[in-house]
């Protein structure tokens, strides 16, 4: 947000509403104002006024989720300052721009009488400051609820996921270094589990020869839907693979789960209390008590798996000391699908407050570190939504499996391990070297008709599925419809139907009306 972007790249996330003002003429000024306010936040990140002013600009630019996030930070800073001022015998004073605190120098009893006047002045200033902070807090809250579409019933708003125009180029695609890293992971998966694969496959494993390799231009070079295919990746067979060969075991540390619930049919767990019963989850065995995430699961209830999954990615970025989370290899490899018409909900608590509290738990200053700004959280959420798999209790992103493309006639099958965090991937038929490996995203679609498959796949695709099976069935359906349109009846009119049903009025007994008894003997002729 700290640099200008072309107005043509502006894509508001707020769903359009009737009677909205056309702000095209105001866009250059709003973009410039957004850049200025962002730089002010960089210089004074603890000044709540700056966060509120940027929230107003984001509201005008129709980014409700980001406006809510900035307003929340203004509210947090105001509350913190008000709590500090309300403490009894508080010797501290807010510094300029609320970036630091100053302590009164006089502390000796002999100086108390001389400082009475100064104390009165300080008390007056504190009262004035407290009132200004209270007004600022109220203003931020009012702005926040205006962007929460379902307030007061729910602290939720509406949003259409979009690419934020200020995102850097390096975070929009997959680099050559990333592809090389992924291919090393594929090779390591084959080598590191060679004994397990050998036992499962019953064949000799060629050490150093992975089954899978990631490549660009998965569907050929050129332009597809107005975009270069350079960043369209696919997983290909690195060698001939016999049917029913275990080609990948893909464990993951980025997952979340729903808790067991305190009672059957509790509101916090919609699965009749049958949540995750693992005594360690949602924590990892390697984590200590300072990294305990059980509070997230208890607080978010049925949404816990989704919220925990996002927090897991953020934690991994922090632990690996990645300068920006979107640069982390586990996140950089994921791509979102920005559906043009789909309207989603965002939650103040689940999408903003809880992730920010998790970041603070792991040492991130959410005010001073722009790498973890609200727009980054929503960008991460969009990528997770497009690459995750789930069961009724767990939600997970598998680092290598997420790179496989979909087909309704796949040559690869996948199953979930007993730990609910590992995927086992096998070939479902013989595959030749260089052939792309496809999976079916949703197993329940097997055997379903074309319309049902395409409808369900809209979760991952913004258009109809174009796999070979769908195209074949679509062509057959078009031929059938053309045949019906070209069908002619015996009379040659081309408009009636040979099998048209006879109306009941034509065959049933008719009612008798008084005028039916009148007979015209001679109608005569007009001369």
- Please indicate, yes or no, if residue 310 is contained in any of the structural domains: yes
Same structural domain, 238 and 347: no
β-strand 405-406 against 438-439: which pairing, if any? parallel
- Please indicate, yes or no, if residue 360 is contained in any of the structural domains: yes
Same structural domain, 248 and 259: no
The pTM for the full model equals 0.83
Same structural domain, 150 and 53: yes
Number of structural domains in the chain:
3
Range(s) of the domain holding residue 237 = 170-252+399-440
Same structural domain, 141 and 12: yes
Looking at residue 525, its pLDDT comes to: 41
Same structural domain, 351 and 434: no
Same structural domain, 175 and 156: no
Which residues, in sequence order, are CB contacts of 120 under 8 Å at separation 6+?
Answer: none
Calculate the dihedral angle through the C-alpha atoms of 368, 373, 377, 380, rounding to the nearest 10 degrees: -100
Same structural domain, 268 and 411: no
Last residue of a domain, one of 381, 396, 411: 396
Q: Mind listing the pLDDT tens digit for each residue in 233-265?
A: 999 999 999 999 999 999 999 999 998 763 344
Looking at residue 527, its pLDDT comes to: 40
Which residues, in sequence order, are CB contacts of 393 under 8 Å at separation 6+?
Answer: 257, 258, 271, 274, 275, 276, 305, 420
Cα 289 from Cα 210, distance rounded (Å): 39
Cα 433 from Cα 414, distance rounded (Å): 20
Same structural domain, 336 and 426: no
What is the block-wise mean pLDDT of the chain (527 residues), using blocks of 10 residues?
Answer: 94 94 96 98 96 98 98 96 72 56 49 55 71 95 98 97 96 96 92 54 56 93 64 95 96 92 46 73 86 93 95 97 98 93 95 98 97 98 95 94 95 93 96 96 87 89 89 89 68 53 54 55 41
Same structural domain, 259 and 403: no
CA angle 499–503–504, rounded 5-degree value = 135
């Amino acid at each position: 947000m700290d640099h200008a972007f072309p107005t043509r790249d502006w894509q508001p996330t707020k769903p359009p509403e009737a009677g909205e003002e056309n702000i095209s003429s105001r866009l250059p000024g709003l973009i410039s104002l957004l850049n200025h306010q962002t730089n002010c936040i960089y210089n004074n990140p603890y000044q709540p006024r700056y966060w509120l002013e940027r929230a107003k600009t984001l509201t005008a630019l129709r980014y409700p989720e980001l406006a809510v996030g900035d307003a929340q930070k203004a509210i947090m800073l105001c509350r913190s300052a008000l709590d500090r001022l309300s403490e009894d015998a508080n010797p501290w004073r807010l510094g300029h721009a609320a970036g630091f605190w100053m302590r009164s120098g006089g502390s000796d009893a002999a100086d108390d009488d001389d400082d009475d006047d100064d104390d009165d002045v300080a008390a007056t200033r504190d009262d004035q400051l407290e009132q200004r902070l209270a007004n600022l807090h109220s203003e931020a809250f009012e702005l926040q609820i205006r962007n929460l579409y379902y307030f007061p019933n729910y602290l939720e708003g509406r949003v259409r996921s979009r690419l934020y125009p200020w995102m850097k180029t390096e975070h929009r695609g997959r680099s050559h270094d990333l592809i090389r890293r992924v291919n090393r992971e594929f090779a390591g998966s084959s080598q590191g589990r060679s004994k397990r694969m050998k036992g499962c496959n019953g064949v000799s494993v060629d050490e150093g020869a992975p089954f899978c390799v990631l490549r660009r231009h998965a569907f050929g070079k050129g332009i597809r839907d107005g975009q270069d295919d350079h960043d369209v990746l696919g997983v290909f067979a690195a060698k001939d693979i016999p049917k029913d060969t275990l080609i990948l075991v893909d464990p993951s540390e980025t997952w979340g789960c729903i808790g067991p619930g305190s009672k059957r049919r509790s509101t916090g767990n919609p699965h009749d209390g049958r949540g995750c019963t693992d005594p360690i989850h949602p924590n990892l065995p390697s984590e200590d008590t300072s990294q305990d995430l059980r509070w997230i699961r208890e607080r978010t209830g049925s949404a816990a798996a989704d919220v925990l999954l996002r927090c897991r990615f953020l934690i991994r970025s922090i632990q690996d000391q990645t300068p920006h989370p979107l640069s982390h290899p586990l996140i950089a490899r994921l791509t979102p699908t920005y559906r043009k018409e789909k309207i989603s909900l965002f939650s103040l608590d689940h999408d903003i407050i809880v992730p920010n509290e998790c970041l603070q738990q792991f040492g991130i200053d959410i005010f001073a570190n722009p790498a973890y700004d609200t727009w980054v959280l929503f960008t991460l959420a969009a990528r997770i939504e497009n690459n995750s798999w789930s069961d009724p209790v767990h939600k997970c992103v598998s680092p290598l499996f997420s790179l496989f493309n979909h087909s309704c006639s796949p040559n690869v099958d996948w199953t979930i391990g007993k730990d609910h965090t590992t995927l086992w991937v096998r070939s479902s038929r013989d595959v030749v070297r260089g052939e792309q490996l496809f999976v079916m995203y949703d197993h329940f679609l097997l055997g379903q008709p074309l319309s049902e498959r395409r409808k369900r796949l809209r979760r991952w695709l913004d258009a109809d599925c174009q796999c070979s099976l769908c195209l074949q069935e679509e062509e057959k359906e078009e031929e059938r419809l053309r045949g019906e349109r070209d069908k002619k009846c015996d009379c040659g009119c081309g408009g009636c139907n040979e099998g048209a049903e006879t109306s009941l009025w034509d065959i049933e007994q008719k009612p008798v009306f008084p005028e039916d008894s009148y007979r015209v003997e001679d109608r005569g002729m007009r001369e």
